[in-house]
Structure 1
Amino acid sequence: MSQRSDAPASSPRFGEVVAAGHHVTKVYGEGETAVTALAGVSAQFVSGEFTAIMGPSGSGKSTFMHCLAGLDTPTSGSAWIGDTELGSLDEARLTKLRRERIGFVFQSFNLLPTLTALENITLPCDLAGITPDPAWLQELVSTLGLADRLGHRPDQLSGGQQQRVACARALASRPAIVFADEPTGNLDSRAGAQVLSFLQMSAEILGQTVVMVTHDPVAAAYAGRALFLADGRLVHEMAKPSAAGVLEQMKAFDAGQQAVR
């Protein structure tokens, strides 16, 4: 696997802490109308690890991911990418860090309709002033089955192909971490499985750190571990989750009780 010579930082080693949240609290509003979305959540994410964040609607899972990714600001506590506390950065430096060290995959793909697949893939690198490693780029598009689609615009691609373009875009700059928010929510089961298999492979083989918010037990089973949030708190962690095990845990939330660890 080739490395970019102009990367902003060296690639993390397997098992190195890449991102962390320490006692993250997020409160929206004030006084009697205040809503606590997160109530002191702490978690670490290491290189080569694929983590699913799960929980009932309103549990705080997306808010926690947004705080980790610098898309939202904790009310208290701290979020870190490597040894950088996001709260210490002004907006310009935070934007630079997101461009250079974080990749994003969203449910809605977020591809620019006027750009080709290749232009969409390399856009974050272009914005950051980084030239992607041609060998790495070729490996990405080959692995994702996009080699014959690079000249196509999004409206000429299927939903699954568009999401694979989004995955390639997220990894093109070799970011420290990729955040995926319901990445298979708009895909059929076959296309979703292809995207999840790639995210799994990128962690296990390429050493990529992936954090995925999902409500789907089948999707969570592709991850190496699952974190469960309820009422803004981290209440359970599961190593090597299975779809059945995740579903059982989610049923416990619906029943208003936490499953036995």
Structure 2
Amino acid sequence: MGEEAARAVGISKVYGSGDTAVRALDEVSVGFPSGRFTAVMGPSGSGKSTLLHCMAGLDRVTSGEVWIGDTELSGLNDRRLTLLRRERIGFVFQAFNLVPTLTAAENVELPLAIAGTRPERGWRDRVVGEFGLAKRLGHRPTELSGGEQQRVAVARALLSRPTIVFADEPTGNLDSRTSAELLGFMRRSVDEFGQTIVMVTHDPTAAGYADRALFLADGRIVHEMADPTADRVLDHLKRLDGEDLDGGEPDSGEPDSGGRDDGESEG
């Protein structure tokens, strides 16, 4: 728990130049401890998705450092960065990003197939079983429900045993019950598999599954909440929308298991 799977050191991201420049991230420093589930929240345009993409190596920072384990990303050329993303980073997109001509099994194993390796059979079976996909592996994405497609996407992200999984609004296209099921699976992947997950979400209920929540505003982290619950997150988002918080101090609060029901209640 003491180690950090990833960290940012004073990172900024600026799009454009001159009068049209947009500073999406403004000297952000943050660490993501191994074996923990972090939710990243904030108003639209606060920089949360930019932070996720920069941490995952999908976008280059303008300044500062991004570390995955003991590797700093800015020193990597495109080839080495691609290899690192393939081997050590999992990414879950809101739009699933499944290949329509491949079966669920082929989509789950695609990153390893591209790398020319085979999945460890016992681990593959455990992941597939945990996500309830064993009987759906021969189906193509169009034959799967939205929830099943997203489970395939999360299973794909976990199969290579990455150092860290980044998830960008993974429940954004799902109904409340399916969202709760998926979040329960992700919660258990942290508790039972020791996975590290960083999830961008706008949904206070989704954030309630995490170990902590980070709040961004204007490209900066303005608050951190330990053991978030849906009610406390919603209350803080309302305040964040109406106040200039100087935050940053963890909100210890009382741990609450609501929202960590492994999918039994609707989200």
TM-score by length of 2: 0.91
Alpha carbons 1:15, 1:48 under 8 Å: kept: no
Alpha carbons 1:249, 1:259 under 8 Å: kept: no
Question: Separation in 2 of the partners of 1:77 and 1:259?
Answer: 22
Matched residues, number: 248
2:188 is equivalent to residue 201 of structure 1:
yes
Query: Counterpart in 1 of 2:82?
Result: 95
Question: How is 1:1-261 mapped onto 2 (pairs within 5 angstroms)?
Answer: 14-258=1-245
Question: Separation in 1 of the partners of 2:50 and 2:164?
Answer: 17
Question: Which amino acid in structure 1 is aligned with residue 105 of structure 2?
Answer: L
Question: Separation in 2 of the partners of 1:239 and 1:250?
Answer: 15
1:68-125 per-residue CA deviation (whole Å, 9 max, x = no partner) reads: 0001111110101011110000000000000000111111011001000000000001
Root-mean-square deviation (CA), in Å? 1.1
Question: Which amino acid in structure 2 is aligned with residue 130 of structure 1?
Answer: T
Point out the more displaced range, 251-260 or 48-57.
Answer: 251-260
Question: Separation in 2 of the partners of 1:230 and 1:189?
Answer: 27
Question: Separation in 2 of the partners of 1:83 and 1:48?
Answer: 16
Question: Which amino acid in structure 2 is aligned with residue 174 of structure 1?
Answer: R
Question: Which amino acid in structure 2 is aligned with residue 135 of structure 1?
Answer: G
Q: In the TM superposition, what is the alpha-carbon distance from 1:256 to its structure 2 partner?
A: 2.7
Question: Which amino acid in structure 1 is aligned with residue 110 of structure 2?
Answer: L
Question: Separation in 2 of the partners of 1:31 and 1:257?
Answer: 26
Identify unmatched segments of 5+ residues in structure 1.
1-13
Question: Separation in 2 of the partners of 1:78 and 1:197?
Answer: 32
Q: In the TM superposition, what is the alpha-carbon distance from 1:259 to its structure 2 partner?
A: 8.3
Point out the more displaced range, 127-136 or 181-190.
Answer: 127-136
Q: In the TM superposition, what is the alpha-carbon distance from 1:254 to its structure 2 partner?
A: 1.6
Q: In the TM superposition, what is the alpha-carbon distance from 1:31 to its structure 2 partner?
A: 1.2
1:9-35 per-residue CA deviation (whole Å, 9 max, x = no partner) reads: xxxxx4421100001111111111111
Identity of aligned residues (%): 63
Q: In the TM superposition, what is the alpha-carbon distance from 1:136 to its structure 2 partner?
A: 0.4
Task: Give the ranges of 4+ consecutive aligned residues of structure 1 lying more than 6 Å apart after TM superposition.
Answer: none
Question: Separation in 2 of the partners of 1:191 and 1:259?
Answer: 36
Equivalent residue of 1:205, what SS?
helix
Question: Separation in 2 of the partners of 1:162 and 1:138?
Answer: 17
Question: Separation in 1 of the partners of 2:116 and 2:126?
Answer: 21
TM-score by length of 1: 0.93
Identify unmatched segments of 5+ residues in structure 2.
252-267
